[in-house]
Each structure stands twice: as C-alpha cells, then as structure tokens.
Structure 1
Amino acid sequence: MNNLFVIAVFACSCSAPVGLLAETLSGSVTKVRDADTIVVRGVPVRLNGVDAPENGTRAGNEATSAMKRFVRGKTVTCELNGERTYDRWVGVCFTEQGHDIGATMIANGYALDCRRYSGGRYRSLEPAGARSRLPQARYC
C-alpha cells in the first residue's frame, strides 16, 4: 500500500509544469501581461503586494510599457509563496542585481502598495501624489 502511495505522489508531481513544485522560479521573462504580472519561463507570476492599474487605461498602458522596459532581456528569480490567483502563481520577483521588481514599479510611480497582501512593506516607496493619481483596487 505504501509503495502505491509513493508511486501516485510521484506521478502527480511529474505532471506539474517544471518549476512550480519549487518555491523559487528563475529564468527569462518571456512575457509581460501588465505591470503586476510577468511570465517567467512560461509560468505566469502575480507580483505579491503590487497593485498596478489595468491595461486599457492610460496609467495601465504606461505601467505595462515601463515593466516591459525594466525586465526586457533580464533573468529574474521569483520567490513563490505557494498561492495562486486565477492562472498565476503569486510571488516576489528580483532581477539578477537583487532589485525587487514590484518595489521598483511602485517607487517609480507605476503601481501602489496593496497592503492587504504586502503587509505594507512597499507603502513607504510610493512617490508623493501616487495615491491621488493611481486607482487602488478595492481588494487591497
């Protein structure tokens, strides 16, 4: 019976996409969906605690363009927390130089701290006036 359980667990593990079983995902950014969701090695990652405006709005389009410029050609490492939202894994991502991507987007005025999920760790990085200029999602 124990051998059957081990085989079943192994079979389930092998069917998951590479990297999702680990807490850390590293690789090239293959796509930028918007300013708070990137795709790393084909795996969508929602930046934990980052609230960026939606695409289709002026602020959202500008934020997405800024994210594309920031991560273009970079290898990143994402520390996934094991949670998912829609089809995305949730995590904090860093450039090879150790820069927190979400913190960079917030510090440059393209996104806000989502305290509900960040615990407020990014709030001090928000530029003056960012809260009056950018919409905050209700869930934050």
Structure 2
Amino acid sequence: MPVNLPTPEKADLLAVAGIKLGISSAGIKTAGKEDLVLIELAESTVTSAVYTQNAFCAAPVTLAKQHQQQISPRYLLINSGNANAGTGEAGMQAAQACCQSVADLTDAEPTSVLPFSTGVIGQQLPVEKIQAALPAA
C-alpha cells in the first residue's frame, strides 16, 4: 500500500453519489493536522465489512461489529493518531461516547455509527478533542 503520497487538492476530488465526506482536525497526535473523518452514507446503502480475527480486538472493532449486526450503518467515524487499543473498558466507553456524539449531531441512532481508530496503541482516546472537532467535519 502506498504511503506518504501527496494530499490531493479538494478541487481534484470527484463526488461519489450517496456519500458525504467531512474532514477535521482534532489534534489527536499533531495540532492542526487533519486526523478526523466523518463519512455519511445514503439511507439505501448496503454495507459489508471484514474484521480482524484477533481475539484481542480494540474497542472500535468490537463496537463496530456490534453496531453493524444491529442496524445498517449511516456514518463511519475514523480517527488517526490513536488506535484506542489495549485501553480496556475505558476504551469501549470512549468509542461509545464518540458514536453518541455523531448521533447527537446528526439526529441518528448511535448504533448507526461505526467507529474506526488507527494510531498509537495503549493510550486513552481523547474523546473531548474528537467531540470538539466533529461539528467542523
């Protein structure tokens, strides 16, 4: 997978029918760096997912699996800089709080949000930073 590619110009990106994409900076790892993505899927969207087989899944993986079994997702919340892995029950509560924040902003059910986190393992997710950055996404 290619890494360190230049960021495309927003004007060069083409719209995809049924998908809205929002990007924001929560300052999770680096202040001012865009590290939060909120994707809205059209109501008629059919989704599927492939999850890790690891017995020690991070909180976002466990919660995304649970949510996807309950309802067709409408929102994908992705953060970089913090994996929210190896964080125990506090990590699960953080992932749930982030899903609830998206639900509050969009008048949706928290189960319609799938959380995804990538980054440093073993650190607590900075929920307040994500919540503060969500309206801009």
The TM-score with structure 2 as length reference comes to: 0.26
The TM-score with structure 1 as length reference comes to: 0.26
User: If you compute each CA radius of gyration, which structure gives the higher value, 1 or 2?
Assistant: 1
By relative contact order (CA 8 Å, sep 6+), the higher-ranking structure is: 2
